[in-house]
Amino acid sequence: MNDTPPTRADARRALLGASRIAVLSGAGVSAASGVPTFRGPDGLWRNHRAQDLATPDAYRRDPLLVWEWYQMRFHIIAEVEPNAAHVALAELETRTDDFTLVTQNVDGLHERAGSQNLYELHGNLTKSRCEACGYLESLEPDFPLPPHCSRCGARARPNVVWFGEMLPQDAFQAGIDAFGRAEVALIIGTSAVVEPAASLGRLAAREGAFVIEINPEQTPLTPFATVSLRADAVTGMKQLLGDNVL
Ligand code: OAD
């Protein structure tokens, strides 16, 4: 019997040999692009309390304050580019039969990097959503605060999921399906403390997938990982895929 723990080389082999891959990404993937994460020393939640900005109550209380915060983040995102980790994930998709990327990020960078089978669990802050008719529109660089729907004129809100709100059910269901059938699950750049997103990693582990985590720090999903790479997202993807992909 061979009881040596699986290595980075095993993770690389598993990933490159898999025909069914599911990925869960978080803010750490966009860190190298210059998008702040939420938790940690420079995180967005250092200066703001989530319940003051990212809840339906906060928006009811002070819609302009909430919009100003999203507009600030919108401006950051407008000026950054996808990084090598986003590109590597898009590239991995092109060589994998069944590939699903579920992201908690609202920055749109996976899409800009070319990811196709992509589910944005927490929405996308580059769009607004009409509070009356639900119409989605891309925000323009100088959008007014608050923006109004160009179809019906009602006030529009950020197209993101706030704490206490339901996830888009089609996206979460796609995640459950993908993580339930994956041979390899890759958990990259997420603190894995927000549910139900993190439950996808546990689901894959329970179903016997080879679970790879890329994160400079331990997370609640680390015990479920077959192999944990203590690396930033770009370095970790390079370790797994080699320089040829990046
Ligand atoms: P967090 O800010 O909670 O966690 C970022 C994770 O990325 C941490 O575990 C860091 O260790 C790791 N990290 C930092 N730099 C990295 C790098 N260069 N490469 C790889 N990893 C790095 O962000 P999320 O896990 O995405 O939800 O947060 C989940 C949700 O909580 C967000 O979607 C947002 C937030 O509140 C809502 O707003 C609903």
Q: Cα–Cα distance between 32 and 208 in angstroms, integer?
A: 31
Residue 173: both structure tokens together: 């269901």
- What separation in Å is there between the alpha carbon of 215 and the centre of ligand 1? 10
In whole angstroms, what separates CA 37 from the centre of its chain?
11
pLDDT digits (tens, 9 = 90+) for 54-83: 999 999 999 999 999 999 999 999 999 999
Q: Is residue 22 within 8 Å of residue 197, measured between CB atoms? A: no
Identity of residue 57: D
Is residue 158 pLDDT above 80, yes or no?
Answer: yes
30-42 as b/e, with b when 16 or more CB fall inside 10 Å? bbbbebbbbbbee
Closest atom of ligand 1 relative to the 85 alpha carbon:
19
Residue to mutate, 52, 102, 194, 232, ligand 1, most ligand atoms under 8 Å from C-beta: 194
| Higher pLDDT, residue 64 or 49 | 64
pLDDT for 244 equals: 57
Ligand 1 first shell, C-beta below 6 A: 26-28, 31-32, 37-40, 43, 50, 54, 104, 122, 161, 163, 189-191, 194, 215-217, 219, 232-233
> Residue 246's pLDDT band (boundaries 50, 70, 90)?
low
Task: Residue 236: count other Cβ atoms within 10 Å of its Cβ.
Answer: 27
Given the residues 48, 86, 122, 148, the one annotated as active site? 122
pLDDT digits (tens, 9 = 90+) for 22-46: 999 999 999 999 999 988 877 887 7
Which residue, among 110, 102, 108, has the nearest Cα to 85 in the 3D structure? 110
- What separation in Å is there between the alpha carbon of 105 and the centre of ligand 1? 8
Is residue 209 pLDDT above 60, yes or no?
Answer: yes
| Higher pLDDT, residue 44 or 208 | 208
Q: Cα–Cα distance between 225 and 187 in angstroms, integer?
A: 9
Average pLDDT over residues 187-209: 97
Q: Cα–Cα distance between 85 and 30 in angstroms, integer?
A: 8
Which residues, including other chains, have CB under 8 Å from residue 52's CB and lie 6 or more apart? Answer: 58, 65
- What separation in Å is there between the alpha carbon of 244 and the centre of ligand 1? 27
Q: Cα–Cα distance between 157 and 236 in angstroms, integer?
A: 36
What predicted TM-score, i.e. pTM, was given to this entire model? 0.95
For residue 147, give Cα distances in angstroms to 34, 111, 151, 155, 181.
Answer: 26, 24, 12, 6, 41
- What separation in Å is there between the alpha carbon of 191 and the centre of ligand 1? 5
CA dihedral 169, 195, 177, 88 (to 10 degrees): 110
> Residue 3's pLDDT band (boundaries 50, 70, 90)?
confident
Identity of residue 104: Q
Is residue 245 pLDDT above 60, yes or no?
Answer: no
Q: Which residues pair with 25 in a beta bridge?
A: 103, 188
Instruction: Write down how long the chain is.
Output: 246
Q: Whose CA is nearest to atom 33 of ligand 1?
A: 104
The percent of residues above 90 in pLDDT, for the chain, comes to 89
Q: Whose CA is nearest to atom 2 of ligand 1?
A: 38
Which residue, among 87, 143, 89, 145, has the nearest Cα to 113 in the 3D structure? 87
Closest atom of ligand 1 relative to the 216 alpha carbon:
11
Active-site annotation holds for 122: yes
- What separation in Å is there between the alpha carbon of 37 and the centre of ligand 1? 5
